[in-house]
Homo-oligomer: A and B are copies of this chain.
């Protein structure tokens, strides 16, 4: 499974979130063998829950795992500090990122701490966030604590 194949799963989650009226950020956690462990998307609006970012939703959906070293987190957008902290604490080995143009979180910090980072600069992801931020700037500011 290529990083692009994995990103497609995250993009589908982001689009699902958008169709629900939510913030279009999706993520998925894969095992080293390319098996999908769980996927999810931002649910701030849908669940009225500020704690559910794309990555934390995918992590939750993957259930309790004994070791994350060989897992890969794929996300449509550069992980914020909250989600970067999740990756670091649980020693998730690799992160595949759709884009970091509309928002840049903690992925350099993760790289400095030994996490393998793949930044794809995917045009679909850039467009989706650019459109969303343009349409709902206050909601986006709320989601990143600004």
List A residues at the B interface (Cβ < 8 Å): 44, 48-51, 56-57, 59-60, 63-66, 68, 80-86, 88-91, 105-106, 142, 144-146
The chain B residue with its CB closest to the CB of A40 is: B51
> For residue A106, which residues in chain B have a CB less than 8 angstroms away from its CB?
85
A145 and B85 form a contact (CB under 8 A): no
Partner of A85 from B51, B64, B68, B82 at Cβ < 8 Å: B82
For A51, the closest partner residue in chain B by CB is B60
Tell whether, in the assembled complex, residue A44 and residue B64 are in contact, meaning their CB atoms are under 8 Å apart.
yes
A64 to B82, CA, bound (A): 16
Shortest Cβ distance from A142 into B: residue: B66
Instruction: Verify A59–B63 contact, CB threshold 8 A.
Output: no
Q: How far is the CA of A48 from the CA of B61 in the complex (A)?
A: 10
